Amino acid sequence: MATYRVDTVPRLLKPVYVPMTWIVGVVLFCYYALCRMTSRVSIDGPGNHDLAQHAIFCFWHESWLSYCVVFNRYPSPHTMISHPAAYMRPIHIQFRLMGLTPLVLGSSGEEGRRAADAVAALVGRGLSTSISPDGPYGPPRVLKKGVLHIARKSGVPIVPLTIRASRGLRLPSWDAKQLPLPFSRIAVTVHEPFVVTEENFNFAAVHVIRALDGPAPSTVVTHLHPASS
């Protein structure tokens, strides 16, 4: 499956591929739902603590799994770019169960640029999105400018997020993702929004990196109890 895309899987493989990817996708969704029900989520930082706000949420790729716990059900309309590789279909199913629609397929090159333009248009019409500026292949914590282009074209601010789980397993991946465990404490720091324009485009990358890498300021804390959204 490594050489196929979700839209090019051979017809002969689909009777196995489709149900297996659904099973894995449902299992993933249920696992993150279990973590959400048993964990305590707190939100701090200088930004707007409302995760239903209209925004381009931005965080390092290592935080994706904890993100799936915090946003187990999207509180507002959401779209996203995702890699079209066939092995990603369980993740696509998981995102749909979380309430994400539409999902835009794209990775790099011209297809990636078209996907970014499509998401920018959807965000400009009122949907929010989430993106890891160092994904999908790294290097870790090195910002690529796709998120800046989406923000500039849509006019919607970037809201950097820092997400940390107290209990988790580090996976042997390029980004050292943390798999959160049930009964964790998950801290979300919401940084101040940043609107990207032609004039501040180059500085915007520095601002986002500083927010994601810097200390997590916390003067007001909002606690979300297990299973709340």
Mode of pairing for the β-strands spanning 168-170 and 178-180: antiparallel
| Residue-level pLDDT at 217 | 41
| Residue-level pLDDT at 61 | 94
Q: Is the pLDDT of residue 20 over 90?
A: yes
Nearest by Cα to 147 from 137, 163, 165, 160:
160
Read off the tokens for 178: 């943390």
- In the three-class reduction of DSSP (H, G, I as helix; E, B as strand; rest coil), residue 190 is classed as strand
Q: CA-CA distances (angstroms) from residue 103 to 119, 172, 178?
A: 9, 27, 24
Structural domains in the chain, sorted by start? 11-224 (3.40.1130)
Q: Is the pLDDT of residue 35 over 80?
A: yes
pLDDT per position as a tens digit, 121-145: 999 999 999 999 997 888 999 998 8
For Cα atoms 226, 80, 124, give the angle at the middle one, nearest 5 degrees.
110
Mean pLDDT of the region 200-222: 72
Q: How far is CA 27 from the centre of its chain?
A: 19
| Residue-level pLDDT at 215 | 55
Mean pLDDT of the region 156-169: 95
Mean pLDDT of the region 185-202: 94
pTM of the model: 0.89
122, 130, 104, 65: CA torsion to nearest 10: -160
Give dist(CA 201, CA 29) in Å, integer.
36
